[in-house]
């Protein structure tokens, strides 16, 4: 057997589950490595503690003198836990996290040294960020950016480093990361939602968005992954024939978790406990070797940080267990892909979930207000929502018959559909006392606390209401949740502001508050009706129906990204002070460039593998066949052909496949050259999408056919069945 593949499989088969040590009770170690409230109480002076708490609750600035006290307390705590270094931890637009470690250690002359970490080092740093993406914001003479402490996300120790979550902005204050716009969107949403929540409860003074993500991933033995150059370079297999057995039996989903994997999960979850990531559920997913991990939901900024941190921790922990984690949305063709469901809701500082139905009719009017406004916001910005989840890798998943389609729609279930249908009939203008009583008793009052649809919910919808939260299912498994969450916060904030203005205008015209709310909601329900869809999102019929309704169906990333620089997007973000036009355009530039780069890498990798691995192997096998045919001729003389026909057919077929592969590679290279000559990033992305990428399929098709023809012993690339079923 080809050496690399053979050794990889041999290594994998010899693996034993790696021993893990776990705490007796998880609750005992939860947050042990986090500089949270408990640690702060112990290590900070009262003034310092209060100023951090105030910064968290009200967003107030921390006084510079106090920052020195805080940094000292933080350093003492970190050193007591074995930390030697500190870093500003941030999320640049590369999609991963960035950090540069500095030691606490400093010399003070005459051969002595101390551990030092002052307020300045805590609050602000200037990382060498010249290679991080900025989309034209930092020009060369001002190529600097700085990181600034985000006290709302607590510092933590990872390994021996104190990590301080920060934002990353240019010297002119423009966002160069995911966190900055997210924080701004949260503050816009807080303001807008608090104003509306006060209609129902005067005591509400703060509203936070909550996020509970569900992370799907594949876990494949690291030796097997190392034997696949395509996985190493692009995160997915660019070729490989489907195995005889895939996921058709659903046996993985319902099966028990294999011991090696379970030990990995236990180890990972223990790390998460120390880091304060409240992971709660783990299970097998649909595809073989696919799994899922989900935490208890948290305030959205913290949840986003925790998801980014988790992805790092997952990679690191996997090394110890000789696994590689694949976060790619579609690492294996014809096998289920991975997503990252984003469960989103709104929580008040008085302890209620604004998207939770209630037994009390008055509370339900509050629920309906936030519920209908969210649907209206989603309706008005559906194309922008599609844009925020677009990526080269997520293109493989959306609309691929197992994930939500590229069409954005909202699922709310039959019970709530009935309620909205009733509300649509509410009288225009003042409501009669009878109508109001009827509404309260029979419509609003009849919304059950627990919705039946919650159990048989529609798995094909990209945005589903699931009882007391909305679940955005179209987010890719590699994505940073911040981008879609920033948009969701922003559109709901904008919508709630408009709602408040309309209701207040009616109240000013002497309409009662409830009547005004019913009147405005009625119009929103009508206006947003076309976004609601309860049927099968995978079906062809929905594509046709959606087109009739005028909903977008943007199937590829270059098309899907265009709304990001629309007038609507620019005014939305700038109107709420989340991003100015330059920041909006910069993000688009980065993403559209990334798209072309990713397809370029895939194209190069596929071409190389086809030419250097597949074709030489096919020729080797063809030579074996030729030798065999020659031998038969020697043995049987003129009548050899009846014995050699099958071999001759295969020899022919191999030649045909090789020829097709070579021709397609040539065409693909030509298309790449043309695309590379384009100056404009958007044009380049379209060229990669429309002219380069289509060749992948042809090349792959013929390579996969060769995989079926060629002697298994000779095949150099680890096969699907080996990657998916060896543990
Ligand atoms: P699923 O069936 O989709 O796996 P679960 O009921 O297990 O759904 O919950 C999925 C996620 O929803 C969890 O991460 C959970 O923390 C999150 N979640 C629950 N309530 C809220 C909420 N109010 N806000 C945000 N997320 C929530
Ligand atoms: Mg889910």
> Considering only 181-185, 250-254, 477-481, 700-704, which range has the smallest mean pLDDT?
250-254
- Give a yes or no: residue 338 inside a domain: yes
- Give a yes or no: residue 587 inside a domain: no
> Is the minimum distance from the CB of 707 to ligand 1 under 6 angstroms?
no
Tell me: the pLDDT tens digits for 99-115?
A: 888 899 988 888 888 88
pLDDT of the residue at 16: 93
Query: Could you tell me if 142 and 210 lie in one domain?
Result: no
- Give a yes or no: residue 192 inside a domain: yes
pLDDT of the residue at 171: 83
Question: Does pLDDT of 251 surpass 70?
Answer: no
Query: Could you tell me if 516 and 603 lie in one domain?
Result: no
**Selection from 440, 450, 448 nearest residue 518 by Cα:** 440
Kindly state the percentage of the chain with pLDDT values over 90.
78
Query: Could you tell me if 521 and 387 lie in one domain?
Result: yes
Query: Could you tell me if 496 and 637 lie in one domain?
Result: no
Over the range 115-145, which residues count as b (16 or more CB within 10 Å of their CB) and which as e? eebebebbbebebebeebbbbebbeeeeeeb
pLDDT of the residue at 254: 62
Query: Could you tell me if 642 and 494 lie in one domain?
Result: no
- Give a yes or no: residue 408 inside a domain: yes
Question: Does pLDDT of 401 surpass 70?
Answer: no
Candidate from 302, 343, 347, 457 with most ligand 1 atoms within 8 A of CB, to mutate:
343
pLDDT band at 138 (very low <50, low <70, confident <90, very high): low
Ligand nearest to the CA of 281: 1
Q: Give the domain range for residue 55.
A: 31-175
Q: How far is the CA of 481 from the centre of ligand 1 (A)?
A: 15
Question: Does pLDDT of 74 surpass 60?
Answer: yes
Tell me: the pLDDT tens digits for 615-666?
A: 999 999 999 999 999 999 999 998 998 999 999 999 999 999 999 999 999 9
**Rounded CA gap, 97 and 268, in Å?**
18
Q: How far is the CA of 498 from the centre of ligand 2 (A)?
A: 30
Query: Could you tell me if 436 and 320 lie in one domain?
Result: yes
- Give a yes or no: residue 25 inside a domain: no
Question: Does pLDDT of 134 surpass 70?
Answer: yes
The residue contributing the CA closest to ligand 1 atom 6 is 466
> Is the minimum distance from the CB of 468 to ligand 1 under 6 angstroms?
yes
Residue that terminates a domain, selected from 553, 579, 605: 579
pLDDT of the residue at 648: 96
> Is the minimum distance from the CB of 345 to ligand 1 under 6 angstroms?
yes
**Selection from 602, 725, 485, 556 nearest residue 229 by Cα:** 602
Question: Does pLDDT of 142 surpass 60?
Answer: no
What is the CATH classification number for the domain harbouring 59? 3.10.20.70
Per-residue pLDDT averaged across 549-576, rounded?
Answer: 97
Query: Could you tell me if 617 and 478 lie in one domain?
Result: no
Query: Could you tell me if 145 and 206 lie in one domain?
Result: no
pLDDT of the residue at 349: 96
Residue with tokens 């030489």: 616
Per-residue pLDDT averaged across 344-357, rounded?
Answer: 96
Long-range contacts of residues 199-204, Cβ cutoff 8 Å, at least 24 apart: 199/366, 199/369, 199/503, 199/513, 199/517, 200/362, 200/363, 200/365, 200/366, 200/369, 201/348, 201/350, 201/352, 201/366, 203/350, 204/348, 204/349, 204/350
> Is the minimum distance from the CB of 210 to ligand 1 under 6 angstroms?
yes
- Give a yes or no: residue 447 inside a domain: yes
Long-range contacts of residues 496-502, Cβ cutoff 8 Å, at least 24 apart: 496/189, 496/192, 496/193, 496/195, 496/196, 496/370, 496/373, 497/192, 497/195, 499/196, 499/369, 499/373, 499/524, 500/192, 500/195, 500/196
pLDDT of the residue at 178: 95
What is the CATH classification number for the domain harbouring 243? 3.30.590.10
Query: Could you tell me if 196 and 147 lie in one domain?
Result: no
The residue contributing the CA closest to ligand 1 atom 17 is 212
Per-residue pLDDT averaged across 667-686, rounded?
Answer: 98
> Is the minimum distance from the CB of 235 to ligand 1 under 6 angstroms?
no
Q: How far is the CA of 367 from the centre of ligand 2 (A)?
A: 21
Per-residue pLDDT averaged across 114-136, rounded?
Answer: 83
Query: Could you tell me if 307 and 418 lie in one domain?
Result: yes
pLDDT top residue among 140 and 505: 505
pLDDT band at 249 (very low <50, low <70, confident <90, very high): low
Tell me: the pLDDT tens digits for 13-66?
A: 999 999 999 998 999 999 999 999 999 999 999 999 999 999 998 888 888 889
Q: How far is the CA of 415 from the centre of ligand 2 (A)?
A: 20
Please state, rounded to an integer, the average pLDDT across all residues of the chain. Answer: 93
Residue that terminates a domain, selected from 117, 150, 175: 175
Tell me: the pLDDT tens digits for 278-326?
A: 999 888 887 889 999 999 999 999 999 999 999 999 999 999 999 999 9
Residue that terminates a domain, selected from 579, 611, 644: 579
How many residues does this entry show for the chain?
727
The residue contributing the CA closest to ligand 1 atom 23 is 345
> Considering only 169-173, 338-342, 451-455, which range has the smallest mean pLDDT?
451-455
- Give a yes or no: residue 2 inside a domain: no
- Give a yes or no: residue 13 inside a domain: no
> Is the minimum distance from the CB of 375 to ligand 1 under 6 angstroms?
no
pLDDT of the residue at 652: 98
> Is the minimum distance from the CB of 481 to ligand 1 under 6 angstroms?
no
Q: How far is the CA of 386 from the centre of ligand 2 (A)?
A: 18
pLDDT of the residue at 658: 98
What string of DSSP letters covers 408-456? --EE--HHHHHHHHHHTTPPSSSPPHHHHHHIIIIIGGG--SS-GGGTS
What string of DSSP letters covers 18-66? PP----S-HHHHTTTTB--HHHHHHHS-HHHHHHHHHHHHH-PPPPHHH
Question: Does pLDDT of 129 surpass 80?
Answer: no
pLDDT of the residue at 256: 77
What is the CATH classification number for the domain harbouring 646? 1.20.120.1560
Query: Could you tell me if 424 and 290 lie in one domain?
Result: yes
Measured from the Cβ of residue 406, the count of other Cβ atoms closer than 10 Å reads 25
pLDDT of the residue at 124: 87
Number of domains the chain is built from: 3
Query: Could you tell me if 421 and 460 lie in one domain?
Result: yes
């Amino acid at each position: 057997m080809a050496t690399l593949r053979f050794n990889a499989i041999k290594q994998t088969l010899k693996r034993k589950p790696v021993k893990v040590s776990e705490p007796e009770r998880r609750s005992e170690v939860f947050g042990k490595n986090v500089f949270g409230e408990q640690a702060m109480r112990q290590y900070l002076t009262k003034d310092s503690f209060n100023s951090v708490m105030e910064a968290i609750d009200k967003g107030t600035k921390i006084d510079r003198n106090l920052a020195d006290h805080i940094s000292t307390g933080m350093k003492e705590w970190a050193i007591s836990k074995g930390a030697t270094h500190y870093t500003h931890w941030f999320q640049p637009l590369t999609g991963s996290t960035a950090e540069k470690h500095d030691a606490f250690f400093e010399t003070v002359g005459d051969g002595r040294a101390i551990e030092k970490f002052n307020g300045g080092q805590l609050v602000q740093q200037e990382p060498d960020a010249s290679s991080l993406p900025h989309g034209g914001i930092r020009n060369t003479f001002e190529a600097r950016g700085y990181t600034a402490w985000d006290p709302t996300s607590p510092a933590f120790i990872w390994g021996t480093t104190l990590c301080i979550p920060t934002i990353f902005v240019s010297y002119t204050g423009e966002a160069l990361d995911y966190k900055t716009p997210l924080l701004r969107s949260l503050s816009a949403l807080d303001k807008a939602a608090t104003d509306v929540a006060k209609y129902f409860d005067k005591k509400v003074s703060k509203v936070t968005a909550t996020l509970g993500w569900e992370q799907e991933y594949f876990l494949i033995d690291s030796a097997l992954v190392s034997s696949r150059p395509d996985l190493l370079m692009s995160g997915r297999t660019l070729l490989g024939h489907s195995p005889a057995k895939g996921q058709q039996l659903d046996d993985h989903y319902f099966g028990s978790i294999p011991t090696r994997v379970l030990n990995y999960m236990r180890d990972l979850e223990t790390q998460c406990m120390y880091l304060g990531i409240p992971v709660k559920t783990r299970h097998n997913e649909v595809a073989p070797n696919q799994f899922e991990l989900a935490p208890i939901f948290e305030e959205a900024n913290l949840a986003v940080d925790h998801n980014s941190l988790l992805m790092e921790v997952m990679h690191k922990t996997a090394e110890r267990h000789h696994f590689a984690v694949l976060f790619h949305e579609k690492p294996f063709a014809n096998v289920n892909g991975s997503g990252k469901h984003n469960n989103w809701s709104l929580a008040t500082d008085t302890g209620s979930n604004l998207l939770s139905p209630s037994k009390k009719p008055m509370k339900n009017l509050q629920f309906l207000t936030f519920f209908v406004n969210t649907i209206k916001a989603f309706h008005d910005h559906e194309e922008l929502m599609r844009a925020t989840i677009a990526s080269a890798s997520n293109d493989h998943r959306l609309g691929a018959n197992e994930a939500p389609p590229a069409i954005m729609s909202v699922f709310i279930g039959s019970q709530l559909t009935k309620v909205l249908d009733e509300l649509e009939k509410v009288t225009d203008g003042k409501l009669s006392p009878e109508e109001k009583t009827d509404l309260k008793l029979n419509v609003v009052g009849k919304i059950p606390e627990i919705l039946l649809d919650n159990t048989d919910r529609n798995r094909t919808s990209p945005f589903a209401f699931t009882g007391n939260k909305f679940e955005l299912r179209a987010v890719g498994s590699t994505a940073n949740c911040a981008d879609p969450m920033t948009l969701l916060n922003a559109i709901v904030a904008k919508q709630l502001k408009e709602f408040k203005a309309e209701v207040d205008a009616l109240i000013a015209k002497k309409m009662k508050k409830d009547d005004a709310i019913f009147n405005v909601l009625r119009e929103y329900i009508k206006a947003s009706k076309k976004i609601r869809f309860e049927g099968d999102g995978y079906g062809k019929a929905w594509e046709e129906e959606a087109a009739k309704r005028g909903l977008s169906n943007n199937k590829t990333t270059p098309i899907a990204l265009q709304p990001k620089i629309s007038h609507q997007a620019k005014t939305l973000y700038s109107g709420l002070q989340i991003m100015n036009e330059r920041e909006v355009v910069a993000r688009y530039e980065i993403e559209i460039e990334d798209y072309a780069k990713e397809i370029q890498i895939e194209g190069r990798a596929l071409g190389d593998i086809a030419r250097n691995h597949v074709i030489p192997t096919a020729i080797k096998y063809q030579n074996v066949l030729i030798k065999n045919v020659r031998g038969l001729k020697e043995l049987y003389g003129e009548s050899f052909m009846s014995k050699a026909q099958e071999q001759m057919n295969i020899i022919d077929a191999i030649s045909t496949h090789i020829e097709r592969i070579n021709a397609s590679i040539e065409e693909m290279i030509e298309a790449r050259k043309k695309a590379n000559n384009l100056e404009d990033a958007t044009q380049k992305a379209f060229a990669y999408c429309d002219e380069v990428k289509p060749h992948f399929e042809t090349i792959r098709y013929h390579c996969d056919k060769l995989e079926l023809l060629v002697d298994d012993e000779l095949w150099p690339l680890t096969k699907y069945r080996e990657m998916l079923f060896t543990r």
